[in-house]
């Protein structure tokens, strides 16, 4: 008796599966997920530049700076940023250029590495963008401003624009950047 119930139950399940399969909605189409990198985009020396978001510790308006004696002119001074004295640098002047944007548009991007930190004044910040990983190229370097090239690892090409990928570690460990004494 148990055997006929099992067979009848199995047949019932098969029939239900067939009926619901015919009338049910199909599974949603599978979409290919394309990996992206989140970057902070800004302008410097009239060029679009990006930095990986995780490499930026803070972003803020240019603060009042206390000048330091006997330092290179690109060092604007030190500022109290959330209770921590931070060196503020005119990034364009360090690269041999000058900031182009109005002072109200300029921002400071704070970067840190191995206990060394600096606030880099840039022309303006365009915001966060999500670039496809396959839009990155290490070989496409023709649009990178020459003074910035040693601190750029490659470019993201998206929507007709070429964004140089700035690497703060290369800047902070640079002997030219560390030699601030005039």
Kind and range of the H or E element at 5?
helix 2-23
**Alpha-carbon distance 40 to 110, whole Å?**
12
**CA dist 100 → 47, 87, 90, 91, 106 (Å):** 11, 21, 12, 12, 9
CATH number attached to the domain at 36-178: 2.40.50.180
Q: What is the predicted pLDDT for the residue at 126?
A: 94
Question: What's this model's pTM, rounded to 2 decimal places?
Answer: 0.80
Residue 160, φ and ψ in degrees, nearest 5: 80, 0
Name the residue ranges covered by the structural domains of the chain: 36-178
CA angle 39, 44, 50 (to 5 degrees): 10
At residue 1, the pLDDT reads 47
Interacting residues of 85 by C-beta distance below 8 A, sequence separation 6+: 78, 79
Q: Using pLDDT thresholds of 50, 70 and 90, give the confidence band for residue 104.
A: very high
- Cα(119)–Cα(66) distance, integer angstroms: 14
Q: Residue 169 region, left (φ>0) first, then alpha (ψ -120 to 50), else beta?
A: alpha
- Report pLDDT digits (tens) over 28-50: 777 888 899 999 999 999 999 99
Q: For residue 14, name the pLDDT band (cuts at 50, 70, 90).
A: confident
């Amino acid at each position: 008796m148990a055997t006929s119930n099992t067979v009848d139950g199995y047949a019932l399940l098969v029939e239900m599966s067939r009926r619901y399969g015919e009338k049910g909605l199909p599974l949603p189409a599978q979409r290919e997920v394309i990996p992206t990198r989140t970057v902070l985009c800004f302008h410097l020396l009239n060029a679009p530049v990006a930095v990986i978001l995780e490499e930026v510790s803070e972003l803020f308006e240019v603060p009042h700076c206390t000048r330091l004696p006997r330092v290179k002119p690109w060092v604007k001074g030190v500022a109290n940023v959330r209770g921590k004295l931070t060196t503020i640098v005119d990034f364009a002047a360090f690269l041999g250029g000058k900031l182009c944007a109005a002072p109200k548009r300029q921002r400071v991007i704070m970067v840190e590495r191995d206990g060394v930190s600096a606030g880099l004044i840039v022309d303006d910040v365009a915001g966060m963008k999500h670039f496809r990983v396959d839009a990155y190229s290490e070989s496409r370097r023709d649009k990178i401003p020459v003074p910035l090239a040693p601190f750029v690892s490659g470019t993201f090409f998206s929507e007709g624009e070429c964004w140089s990928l700035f690497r703060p570690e290369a800047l902070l460990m640079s002997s030219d950047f560390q030699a601030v004494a005039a």
